[in-house]
Structures are given as structure tokens and as C-alpha cells.
Amino acid sequence: MRYRLGLILLIVSLLLPTLGVSLCEAKVLRKGMHGTDIQNLQGLLSRLGYELSIDGIFGTETEELIRGIQASMGLKADGIVGRLTFEVLDQLEDGVLPYTVQGGDNLSVLAVRYNTTVKNIITYNSLANPDRILLGQTLYIPTSDLAVFSRSTRLKPTFQWPVRGRISSGYGYRIHPIYKTRQFHGGIDIAVPEGTPVKAAATGKVIQAGVMGNLGLSVVLQHLNGFTSWYGHNSKLNVKVGDEVRVGDTIAYVGRTGSATGPHLDFRIKKGDQTLDPMDWLP
């Protein structure tokens, strides 16, 4: 009897690591939950190359990343992590290798070394300048077509117009309407009446809200994978730092605060510190 009990305990102890993974995958994780399971999920997403906070809180940021992966892989894009989503994430992790750039590296060398293509590495890492990779930079080398497909189809948030109106000033260099000097304009100005509701262009989290120099009363939203959207010159804000908003939610009201000649919205999109032309991202 003691021998049997000892044998059973031995078998259970050997199976515990496997059971731990299975039990984790058997759980259903969703927005509003927090704890170690969520932190492990966020760690997995980070290893896949996605930019997010590993804080153990299943918030909008984590939910939107999961929705994007689900949509790209043909699953129901509900943002809920169940068995099928866990299986897809495991398959994706098996097909991605984090790599720290060493001296003498270039994309062609890495592509040959890891049996992939330069195009796949560029796509997976969203490299704006493929000829400029930095010593110590972390790249994610996709070693399967599945991993590349998941990133290329839903790598970016989908932006909607925050207000509808006339574009009074575009993206790029211009003569500043107040200072009369040639300056770079990192967004677009949309002329609309004062008090017009400003909508969130994409689902995200408020990371700045208040007076921001020449932009006046402004809001900045953080979106999935390092994207942010900026809303300047408002007359009144409808959100505060830490709020989570859905696309289409009213976050502010158009005004002329800061350096502005009239009521309009200064709308900007950034990836990290790089400004992007909003017209390339709006429908």
C-alpha cells in the first residue's frame, strides 16, 4: 500500500510541470482580471515582440492585442483568452526568436542564419530603416510563416476620424500661421466649430490630459504596440489620465487653446517618438 502511494506521488510530481501548463491553458482570461496568470500572458506577448505593460492587469491594452491576434488567425476577436487562443499563442511563440544585435550583424546575415527572409524580419519588427539596426537592439526573428502572418495582418491599430471637417493644415513643413516661420507640423489641423465633440480615434488608454504648451488643452491616448494619438487645442477635456476609452468615445471638445488662430483640432499619430502622417492611417 505504501509502495503504491509512493508511486502515485512520484507520478504526480513528474506530471506537475505539464499539468501546470494545461491548467493555465484551461483557464479563461478576460478584461478586468489581474494576477500572475495575466502577468504570464503579458510576458508571452512581450516575447512575441508586442509592446505592452507587464503589470498583471488585463486592461484595454492587453485586450486589444489579443483581439488583433485573434482576428489575424481567424478566431473570434472577442479579446477573451480561452483554449484556442492559448494554442495559437503557443504556436506563435514557437515560431519567434528574440535576438540581440551583435557587431557585424545585418538583416541579410540574420535571415540566412535563421532560415528566414529579410522581408519577414522587416515586417515582423516594423523597421522603418532596414539598413540601420543598432548594436544591442532587440529584434524578433520570425522562424515560421505563421508568426509573420499574425504580425503583418493586424500589427497596427485601426484609426477612425476624431472629428469630420476641413483640413486647414496638413502634415509636414509649413509657414506657421502665428510665428510666420517655416516649421514642421507633426499632424493635421481639422477646422470645426468650437465645442464639437472630439472622439477617440482608436481604443486606448489616456496617458496625458491637460495643458501641453503650444497644443493647449490636450489629450494623448496610448494604443497597442507603441502607437499613440494626440488631440490638441481643446476647449474642455472629458477624460483624465488612466481612463480607458473605446474608439468613438467623446474625450474632449474642440477649442482654440494654446497657439491657435481659430477653433480646430490638431490631430497627430505617433509610433514611439516618430510622427506619422494621419492621412495615411485614416479611412
Residue 38 confidence class, pLDDT cut points 50, 70, 90: very high
Name the least confident of 4-18, 60-74, 178-192, 204-218. 4-18
CA–CA separation, 137 vs 99, rounded Å?
8
Q: What pLDDT, on the 0 to 100 scale, is given for residue 175? A: 83
User: Domain segments of the chain: what residues?
Assistant: 33-93, 95-153, 166-280
Phi, psi torsion values for 13, nearest 5 degrees: -65, -35
> What proportion of the chain, given as a percentage, has pLDDT over 90?
45
pTM of the model: 0.58
Q: What pLDDT, on the 0 to 100 scale, is given for residue 251? A: 98
**Most confident among 100-109, 209-218, 272-281 (mean pLDDT):** 209-218
CB atoms within 10 A of CB 68: 23
Q: What pLDDT, on the 0 to 100 scale, is given for residue 221? A: 96
CA–CA separation, 231 vs 222, rounded Å?
12
**Grid cell listed for 129:** 530603416
**Grid cell listed for 140:** 524578433
Q: What pLDDT, on the 0 to 100 scale, is given for residue 100? A: 85
Picking from 184, 199, 171, the residue whose alpha carbon sits closest to that of residue 281 is 171
State the pairing for strand pair 227-237/217-222: antiparallel
Task: Give the architecture (CATH level 2) of 166-280.
Answer: Distorted Sandwich (2.70)
Q: What pLDDT, on the 0 to 100 scale, is given for residue 167? A: 95
Residue 273 confidence class, pLDDT cut points 50, 70, 90: confident
Per-residue pLDDT at 239 exceeds 70: yes
The mean per-residue pLDDT over the stretch 40-45 comes to: 92
Task: Give the architecture (CATH level 2) of 95-153.
Answer: Roll (3.10)
| Range 33-93 has CATH code 1.10.101 | yes
State the pairing for strand pair 166-169/138-142: unpaired
Model pLDDT for residues 67-88, shown as the tens digit of each residue? 888 877 677 889 999 988 888 8
Model pLDDT for residues 89-139, shown as the tens digit of each residue? 887 777 777 788 888 899 998 888 888 889 888 888 878 788 889 898 988
CA–CA separation, 155 vs 50, rounded Å?
9
Model pLDDT for residues 190-210, shown as the tens digit of each residue? 999 999 999 999 988 999 999
Q: What pLDDT, on the 0 to 100 scale, is given for residue 130? A: 81
Instruction: Give the containing element (helix H, strand E) for 42.
Output: helix 36-47
Model pLDDT for residues 133-171, shown as the tens digit of each residue? 989 898 888 876 666 655 555 456 779 999 999 999 999
DSSP β-bridge partners for residue 167: 190
Asked if residue 162 lies in contact with residue 245, where contact means CB atoms within 8 angstroms, the answer is: no
Higher pLDDT pick, 25 / 206: 206
